[in-house]
Structure 1
Amino acid sequence: MILTVAQLSESELLERIFPRLHAGTTTLLGPGDDAAIIAAPDARTVISIDTQVQDKDFRLLWPNGATSTGFDVGWKAAAQNLSDINAMGAIATAMVVSLTLPSTTPVGWVEDFADGLSAAIVALGAPQCSVAGGDLSGGSELVVTVAVTGSLEGRDPVLRSGANAGDQVAVCGNMGFSAAGWALHESSTLPADFTPAMTRAAGLFARPVPPLAAGPIAAKSGATSMMDISDGLLRDAARIATASGVRLDLDSAVLAAQARKLEETAVVLGKNPLDWVLTGGEDHSLLSTFPAGRTLPAGFIRLGSVVSLGASESAVAIDGQNFKGVVGGALGWDHFAV
């Protein structure tokens, strides 16, 4: 018989969760009181929040037969929030979590969620970040909301609005793999055995690997603007361009090289891998701009250049040409359009 959350009190469920939560180095008072206390030696706090909703952001059972384990959902919740702090050039310091749980949710799923959350914090390179507390509630569907705080450690934040004409456009991390993994999960006609490339894409969709060390390094290296690619390269590049009042011109040869890494999976699904590179989100790579001539930090590749924005030009171009679909709104993930 599977134990469900309806069979435990809130206190009993919390007793099972608390020992599984990662304790970092910046929490002065963790779970158990009305609020946590987090050290803030920089005197400034970076904060971000994200929500995942069942059947909107994840499925418990996918058309290809795969399941989203509690560990997977916990890992992704940590990864996407840690990535937002990273994109500011900051270091994550603490995390609070709100869970809305249907009464039929297995207690084991919740325990796995806590394990996935804590495992991601350590494995992705943010061991100083504590899970400092949160909230539990009941509802008709699973909803996960995570808020993360971060420290700039004396540096200026890297904003979306700092790109200048003449800058280099660069990226660090995977491009299009999560979108390929999503397509695999959504397909009901797949071969019996995944190839290594397909397995990698499916794994990176379930458990993204944002380059958490890269944000602070990019900030120290003079990055002029930065954001994580959560909604697709075109959409997020357009956000930097619009905030900075410039145009980001991307190199088709570099994009094609990234797409070739996904060709094997694309052939199986009958898709164009370049579409995944351009519009796929949730790889949580870092899209950055750096001054011309500046040596890019390790892990970053040059993706294009920043140019002045002319009349009737789109915010994002490829080889100098307007990209169809970017004018008036870039292609990519939109929570209210899909």
Structure 2
Amino acid sequence: MVTSPRTLADVSESDLLRRIFPFFEGSASLAVGPGDDAAVLRTGPTTVATTDSMIRGRDWLDEWSSPSDVATKLLTQNLADVAAMGATSTAVLVSLVADPATSLDWVVEFARTLGKRASDLGVVVAGGDLSSAPEGVLMVSVTALGDLEGREPVLRNGARPGHAVAVNGTLGRSAAGLALLEGGADPREAASGIRAACLAHHLRPSAPLHAGRQAAEAGASAMIDLSDGLLRDGHRIAEASGVRIALSPAGLHDDLAALQEVVAEAAWECLLAGGEEHSLLATFARDVPDGWRTIGAVEAGDGVTLDGVVQRPRGWDHFSAQNGND
């Protein structure tokens, strides 16, 4: 009886690539795809580029997250950054740094999901890199490219007093999902309603990618991906623009009420400081476009306030011991 290889140590690099390349579909924008020294892409006159990494034990736990969950989260957080610039994602490069004892099935499932999700979003997997690592180490990273399609990028520094502050997507759900998991929730439980939505958003987040281009076309003056929390990312716009972001409790009421059903007293902290949400926060000088909801206003001053009370820029920070929920 022939048994399948169980770990990366059981296959060669070439054999591994032959197993995962079929999951990565080509496109008209890809002149030379995976398999050569570098990919060749047909891109527009202005290309947006970003990169992000995830490390097992730091950014996910195998007890909670499947390879499909990790692939979904990694792709989402990169494409959300491209969208936050007002661009449309076109291609990604993916890298794997792994202990040779890593399960081959883990890598194949990760690649299958990454390829399928990218294809569904019209994004091509153009190539990447493989490397071995010390015992226990597993790291994956994506570099994402996007096309501004002739538009100017939407930066963080264009907010001005009198502009509206608006969000597209959810708030606090990833942090609430994490709180549930830390409280002993089964990540595969047959939950329903807002509880299920919070668990799913932490494990397999989605992002309103279309809204980045929409905001740019509507004249957004500043925009950011909510990856590190509403307060911390709001402070980034405030600091870059030299203004104050004044959040309104009324504008956040529905988000708060939904979270209170799941995490009760922790709802405010999840909403304000919870990271990995990947919704888009933007400011608009003119009408807020459809699908966006106003949660505050830009004022003269600095920092972020909630109902007039100054808020410290808490939220996720990779190198700080003072992180909020994430």
How far does the alpha carbon of each residue in 1:272-323 deviate from its partner, in whole angstroms, 9 at most, with x for none?
21111101111100000000xx2221210001000011xxxx5001122212
Q: Which runs of 5+ in 1 are unaligned?
A: 62-66
Counterpart of 1:39 in structure 2 is 42
1:278 partner amino acid = L
The match for 1:30 is 33
Q: How far apart are the structure 2 equivalents of 1:75 and 1:193?
A: 20
Q: CA deviation at 1:188?
A: 2.7
Q: Is 1:229 aligned to residue 226 of structure 2?
A: yes
1:13 aligns with 2:10: no
Match of 1:188 in 2: 184
Q: CA deviation at 1:103?
A: 1.6
Q: Structure 1 residue runs of 4+, over 4 Å off?
A: 189-193
Q: Which amino acid aligns with 2:84?
A: A
Alpha-carbon distance in structure 1 between the residues aligned to 2:98 and 2:83: 29
SS at match of 2:216: helix
Q: Please give the TM-score of this superposition, normalised by the length of structure 2.
A: 0.92
Matched, 1:72 2:69: yes
User: What does residue 149 of structure 1 align with?
Assistant: 145
Are residue 318 (structure 1) and residue 306 (structure 2) matched?
yes
Q: Which residue in 2 is equivalent to 1:59?
A: 61
Alignment of 1:109-124 (within 5 A): 109-123=106-120
Rounded Cα–Cα distance in structure 1 between residues aligned with 2:130 and 2:276: 26
Shift of 1:106: 1.4
Shift of 1:189: 6.6
1:257 and 2:254 are equivalent in the alignment: yes
**1:44: how far off?**
1.7
Could you tell me how far 1:247 is from its partner in structure 2?
0.4
Alpha-carbon distance in structure 2 between the residues aligned to 1:131 and 1:97: 7
- String of CA shifts for 1:114-151, please: whole Å, max 9, x gaps: 1221233244xx31x21000011111311011101111
Percent identical residues? 43
- C-alpha distance in 1 between matches for 2:116 and 2:177: 21
- Which one-letter code corresponds to 2:113 in the other structure? G
SS of aligned partner of 2:157: helix
Partner of 1:169: 165
Question: Of residues 288, 295, 310 in structure 1, which corresponds to 2:282?
Answer: 288
1:73, CA displacement in angstroms?
0.7
Aligned partner of residue 272 in structure 1, secondary structure:
helix
2:324 aligned with 1:332: no
1:131 maps to which of 113, 125, 128: 125
Contact 2:25 2:125 in 1 (8 A): yes
TM-score by length of 1: 0.89
Long gaps (5+) in structure 2: 322-326
Give the superposed CA RMSD: 1.7
Secondary structure in 2 matching 1:149? strand
1:196 Cα deviation from its structure 2 partner: 3.0
Q: Secondary structure at the match of 1:73?
A: helix
In structure 2, how many angstroms separate the alpha carbons of the residues matched to 1:182 and 1:27? 38
Aligned twin of 1:306: 298
1:183-228 per-residue CA deviation (whole Å, 9 max, x = no partner) reads: 1222237798634322211111111110000000100000000010
Q: Secondary structure at the match of 1:34?
A: coil
Note if contact 2:208-2:280 (Cα within 8 Å) is conserved in structure 1. Answer: yes
SS in structure 2 of the partner of residue 93 of structure 1: strand
Q: Distance in 2 between matches of 1:113 and 1:5?
A: 13
